[in-house]
Amino acid sequence: MTEAAVLALDRVGVEWPGAASGAERYVAVEDVSLSVARGEFLSVVGPTGCGKSTLLNVAAGLLAPTSGAVLSFDEPLAGLNRRAGYLFQADALMPWRNARENVEAGLVFAGVERAQARERAEEWLRRVGLSGFGDRYPHQLSGGMRKRVALAQVLILEPQILLMDEPFAALDVQTRQLMENELLHLWSAERRSVVFITHDLEEAISLSDRIVLLSAGPRTRPIGEFHIDLPRPRDVAEIRLTPRFVELHGRIWAALRAEVLKAYAVSQRLG
């Protein structure tokens, strides 16, 4: 590889201490190597509970791996990943700040002058289609609008890489497709790298350049990699009807199916 990867996981493993002392340690993730190139949209797909979020937290520097290393532009990561923006699955807006104050938060933390921060926040609110909603508090916004604010909040800092943990999972189907198109639109303008975590294969195919499949947990590891050569720009609703999409879906699903069944069997046993 000629260019330094924006983010690389090098044989990362994560273990949790067992519930009882002396109990076996739970190995959530084992020996995972991944790398994301500049401007690449990578989706990580795996069955529910396979440690996808764990991997993302490792990439963000929120969680230190038990073994292996995280590299950001070929440098080992120490502490939080300052080049990354993180979009969480759950609501992560500060409820005591209105939309504009939430969007400008990162700039204020960095010491940007208030007036300038405010101006840029307004600009970002406009870009995510929320101009005029700056004075609303999170509880006064719909789920989709809150996601837009969260997106603006992260993107205003112009991160080199965007980490997204099933960000649209809680939205209804229509809002979700709108947000996915919105995301593609914003992404194509700036071409930042994205790591998108999801358990929804269709979402992954319609958004990504590349998909990495993870096995069912415990001891999650990558079990397959697929390049998505669908043409861009894409419309997530329309692209699902193209023959190439159906073909890719069939191939990837064949690989994923066994893991989903395995995860289901485990959850049945535990339940």
Partner 1 sequence: MRSASGSDKSAARPRRRAPLVAYRVLLIVAVFLAWHVLTATGVLPSFFFGRPLVVLARVWDWFSSGKIYPHLGVTLVETVLAFAIGTLFGVAAGLWLGLSPMAAVLLDPYIKAANAMPRVILAPIFAVWFGLGIASKVALGVTLVFFIVFFNVFQGVREVSPVVLASVRMLGATPRQLVRHVYLPSATSWVFSSLHTSVGMAFVGSVVGEYLGSAAGVGYLILQAEGTFDIDTVFAGILVLTAFALMLDLAVTRAERRLLTWHPRAPEDER
Stretch that binds partner 1, among 83-91, 184-192, 194-202, 233-241 (CB under 8 A): 83-91
Told to check if 98 binds partner 1 by CB under 8 A, we report yes
Determine the Cα–Cα distance for residues 254 and 67; give it in Å rounded to an integer: 31
φ, ψ at 192 (rounded to 5°): -85, 160
> Shortest Cβ distance from residue 134 to partner 1 (Å)?
13
* Distant-in-sequence, close-in-space partners of 172: CB < 8 Å, separation ≥ 6: none
Told to check if 169 binds partner 1 by CB under 8 A, we report no
What's the sign of the alpha-carbon dihedral 217, 219, 222, 224? Answer: negative
* Distant-in-sequence, close-in-space partners of 263: CB < 8 Å, separation ≥ 6: 47, 48, 49, 50, 216, 217
32/103 with CB nearer partner 1: 103
For residue 139, give the DSSP letter.
Answer: G
162/263 with CB nearer partner 1: 162
Binding positions for partner 1, 33-52, rule CB under 8 A: none
Q: Which of 14, 32, 84, 171 binds partner 1 (CB under 8 A)?
A: 84
Determine the Cα–Cα distance for residues 258 and 179; give it in Å rounded to an integer: 30
Told to check if 6 binds partner 1 by CB under 8 A, we report no
Q: Which of 64, 80, 246, 254 binds partner 1 (CB under 8 A)?
A: 80
133/219 with CB nearer partner 1: 133
Q: Is 192 helix (H, G, I), strand (E, B) or coil?
A: coil
Told to check if 133 binds partner 1 by CB under 8 A, we report no
Told to check if 154 binds partner 1 by CB under 8 A, we report yes
Q: Which of 95, 123, 257, 258 binds partner 1 (CB under 8 A)?
A: 95
Bond preceding residue 218 cis, omega within 30 of 0:
yes
Q: Which of 157, 223, 255, 266 binds partner 1 (CB under 8 A)?
A: 157
Contact 10, 65 (CB under 8 A): no
172/235 with CB nearer partner 1: 172
* Distant-in-sequence, close-in-space partners of 217: CB < 8 Å, separation ≥ 6: 28, 29, 49, 50, 51, 263, 266
Stretch that binds partner 1, among 28-36, 137-145, 227-235, 242-250 (CB under 8 A): 137-145
Determine the Cα–Cα distance for residues 203 and 200; give it in Å rounded to an integer: 5
Using alpha carbons only, give the angle 143, 204, 156 rounded to the nearest 5 degrees.
Answer: 50
Told to check if 173 binds partner 1 by CB under 8 A, we report no
For residue 140, give the DSSP letter.
Answer: G
Stretch that binds partner 1, among 14-22, 134-142, 204-212, 221-229 (CB under 8 A): 134-142
- Interface residue list for partner 1 (CB under 8 A): 60, 62, 80, 82, 84-86, 88, 90-98, 105-106, 109-110, 137-140, 142-143, 150, 153-154, 157
